[in-house]
Amino acid sequence: MIHRPALGRKLADRLVKVVSACGALLGILALAWILLVVIQKGAAAINWEFFLHRTLPTGEPGGGVGNAILGSALLVGLAVAFGVPIGLMVGVYLAEFGRETRLGAAVRFSANVMMGIPSIIVGLFVYTLIVVPTHTFSGWAGALALAILMLPVVARTTEDMLQLVPNALRESALALGSPRWKVTFHIVFRAAKVGLLTGVLLAIARISGETAPLLFTALNSPYWSTTLNGPVANLPVTIFNYAMSPYDDWVRLAWGASLLITVGVLALNISSRFILRRSSHE
């Protein structure tokens, strides 16, 4: 065995700690700087008109992003309705029934690949699948694109959370004569419910600010979204359009919408961490 001087090992350990701390500090400073700029520029746009009025055409003063807020809520809500149940079922299969099977390995590999696919590719896929055949952008296409982005996050989180449940709990329930599906959904799910909820919240935060897939699917609209069969107003695309415009009112609204999304995503992340930490102390 090669003997290394203790002084060298201690110096290397301290060097790694210093470099790691500096990297973490830079990340925190960058995040704080972004939040500060968004709050400073976006707070000026927050008022009742911002939430209650729709986006107005070029040249008309005033307006808000109420229609975009409603449209984003509809798209995210539909994405949750589509993606969460399927993601939960995939995670259950990977954790409970397909751990050592070839199909399980293939599904797990596919989920890992999907988590790394750029969102614009998903938008282009749904564009080819739905928008081109129907000859129109629609809220349904936008919700499907967001659901596809959400699915692998929910699936992998579900698998990880279910695997943390002790096998003794499953074996005890099976020994009492309960069928496997009932053990999974009535006992294992209850034991892992906090982790599952955390995964769903993180998945919602993941899709809340996605712009690229919506450009290919839901596009945008200056009107209130009364139907999902056509283009639907949404915050990410509204920010994309308004931020590049030469009009001060539009740029101001873009900063306000950016602040709204930032606060929403931050709240979801903090909530998930709070729920997870609270469950660990119970």
The pLDDT value recorded for residue 13 is 85
Place of tokens 């890992």: 112
Residue 211 pLDDT:
93
How far lies 124's CA from each of 75, 118, 157, in Å? 17, 10, 26
| Those residues with Cβ within 8 angstroms of residue 52's Cβ, 6 or more apart along the chain or in another chain | 64, 66
Average pLDDT of the chain, as a whole number: 90
Cα dihedral value 223, 228, 231, 237, nearest 10: 80
Q: CA-to-CA distance for 271 and 279, rounded, in angstroms?
A: 12
pLDDT band at 181 (very low <50, low <70, confident <90, very high): confident
Give tens-digit pLDDT for 214-246: 999 999 998 998 889 999 999 999 999 999 888
Within a domain: residue 216?
yes
Q: What is the pLDDT of residue 180?
A: 86
Please check whether residue 34 lies inside any domain of the structure.
no
Q: Say if 273 falls within a structural domain.
A: yes
Burial class (CB in 10 A: 0-12, 13-18, 19+), 46: middle
Residue 272 sits in which domain range?
Answer: 68-281
User: CB-based burial of residue 249 (10 Å sphere; 0-12 exposed, 13-18 middle, 19+ buried)?
Assistant: middle
Average pLDDT over residues 267-282: 74
> How many residues appear in the chain?
282
Nearest of 159, 139, 163, 155 to residue 70 by alpha carbon? 139
What DSSP line would sit under 53-91, residue for residue? SPP--TT-----SHHHHHHHHHHHHHHHHHHHHHHHHHH
Give the per-residue pLDDT at 79: 96
pLDDT at 140: 96
Residue-wise pLDDT for 27-85, tens only, equals 999 989 999 999 999 998 999 999 999 988 776 777 899 999 999 999 999 999 999 99
Sign of the alpha-carbon torsion through 31, 34, 36, 38: negative
Q: Is there a domain that residue 48 lies in?
A: no
Residue 90 has pLDDT above 80, yes or no: yes
pLDDT band for 195, please (50, 70, 90 cuts): confident
Instruction: Evaluate if residue 262 carries a pLDDT over 70.
Output: yes
In this prediction, residue 4 carries a pLDDT of: 62
- Residue 273 has a pLDDT of 78
pLDDT tens digits, one per residue of 99-114:
889 999 999 999 999 9
* pLDDT at res. 247: 86
Residue 192 reports pLDDT greater than 70: yes
Q: Which of 231, 253, 229 is nearest to 241 (CA)?
A: 253
32 falls within a domain: no
Q: What is the mean pLDDT of residues 192-213?
A: 90
166 part of a folded domain: yes
Give dist(CA 183, CA 79) in Å, integer. 28
Considering the domain boundaries, does residue 191 fall inside one?
yes
The domain total for the chain is: 1
Structure tokens at 118: 């750029």
Determine, yes or no, domain membership for 30: no
The first and second tokens of residue 157, run together, are 């989180």
What CATH number is associated with residue 265? 1.10.3720.10
